Amino acid sequence: MAIFLGSDIFRGSGYGPGHPLNIPRVWPVIDICRAQGWLRDEQFEMVPPATVQELECFHTRDYINALLDAEQNQQLDEIRSKKHKIGTYSNPIYPEIYRRPATAAKASLQGALYLISGKHSRVFNPSGGTHHGFPDSANGFCFVNDPAIALTTLYQRTSKKIAYIDIDAHHPDGVQEHFSHLDRMILFSVHEADRWPRTGKKGDFGGGNAHNYPLPRGSNDEDLKEIINTQILPLLVAFSPDFIVLQAGADGLDEDPQSGLCYTNRGYWLTVSTILELNIPILVLGGGGYNPFTTARAWAGVWGLMVGENPHATECVSESRSILKSLKFPHRLGKNIPDRWISRLFD
């Protein structure tokens, strides 16, 4: 059975005015999935924030303490702020700076445990996918590296093979640095070339097991499909993983303000369904996604695919249209929202 992991902390909390992540991202996905009839109560589970001990499987105690202090005091001393990159433009101090990323991390940890126990073979955590985080510092809007926590859990608690696939527009530098040298692990990333963090160039194998496929600005569904079918799938099938962690960042979709890639959600969903069809126990994470309309539709469709629905051919019910209509997008302030972002689920 598939399980969707979430929390109410993603309703109403945000990174603060002016930040690209100050948009609704997780709750619209939950609400649209419910409105579409794709998410039954027994398929949804609330998770609490991860404990300090749970985060310590990847992060340093000093760094976690700094996050806790920043949340409690809403400020951090200069020395620790600099050391841990907390309180910068990218990684601002906000009211839930510990609890929110710790909750996303708990969902990824719980998801990994479900795959190991076999209780669920498909787990969705759209709040996860924060792949830039480092053990001792925040990086690129990511405070806690939840994919790293899931990968560490799968790697340390089993002797099985794990594949990490990342289709976010940005290269997963935090994941590559810490997992690409491990046996029983293979990493794939398709991302925009010459885009921050500018790592993951063609021919960069990290510690040996990373495979990077940078795509030029303007690349579309066909370019993505070609990389998936001719490059990634053959290696993935030959590796024959027991578990897959898929970081399904939605910022490669056309009209996302943080990338120059031009996928439609049909091409993005095709990638996800190609990987789901391998029928390997899988944890699917969110990631980037800075246009609330394209992100909500993309991730609702991902869950639809995980439970056997066909978002390509599904009518967007009026309640889903109302949810989409209600989303605020400061980046487009004063401009009309195109009808295609709210009247249907597929591009």
Enumerate binding residues for Zn ion (CB under 5 A): 168-170, 249, 251, 288
The smaller minimum CB distance to Zn ion, of residues 253 and 280, is found at 253
* Smallest distance, Zn ion to C-beta of residue 324, A: 22
CB under 8 Å, gap of 24 or more: what pairs does 253-257 form?
253/289, 253/291, 253/294, 253/295, 253/298, 254/294, 254/347, 255/291, 255/294, 256/169, 256/288, 256/289, 256/290, 256/291, 256/294, 256/295, 257/20, 257/290, 257/291, 257/331
Three-point CA angle 331, 334, 337, nearest 5°: 75
* Smallest distance, Zn ion to C-beta of residue 309, A: 26
* Smallest distance, Zn ion to C-beta of residue 329, A: 17
Residue nearest to Zn ion according to CB distances in the complex: 288
Kindly state the tokens that stand for 128: 């996860």
* Smallest distance, Zn ion to C-beta of residue 156, A: 27
Query: Residue with structure tokens 């053990």?
Result: 135
The smaller minimum CB distance to Zn ion, of residues 71 and 256, is found at 256
The smaller minimum CB distance to Zn ion, of residues 190 and 342, is found at 190
The smaller minimum CB distance to Zn ion, of residues 169 and 190, is found at 169
Give the span between the Cα atoms of 282 and 246, in whole angstroms.
7
**What is the separation of C-alpha 276 from the centre of its chain, rounded to a whole number of angstroms?**
16
The smaller minimum CB distance to Zn ion, of residues 144 and 169, is found at 169
The smaller minimum CB distance to Zn ion, of residues 54 and 168, is found at 168
Phi-psi region of 210 (alpha: psi -120 to 50; beta: other; left: phi over 0): beta
Query: What's the one-letter identity of residue 65?
Result: N
* Smallest distance, Zn ion to C-beta of residue 172, A: 9
The smaller minimum CB distance to Zn ion, of residues 110 and 258, is found at 258
* Smallest distance, Zn ion to C-beta of residue 279, A: 28
Give the span between the Cα atoms of 189 and 146, in whole angstroms.
17
Give yes or no for a contact between 248 and 286, defined as CB atoms under 8 angstroms apart.
Answer: yes
Look at the alpha carbons of 119, 120, 121, 124 in this order and tell me if their dihedral is positive or negative: negative
* Smallest distance, Zn ion to C-beta of residue 160, A: 28
Q: Find, among 60, 87, 70, the residue nearest to 178 by Cα.
A: 60
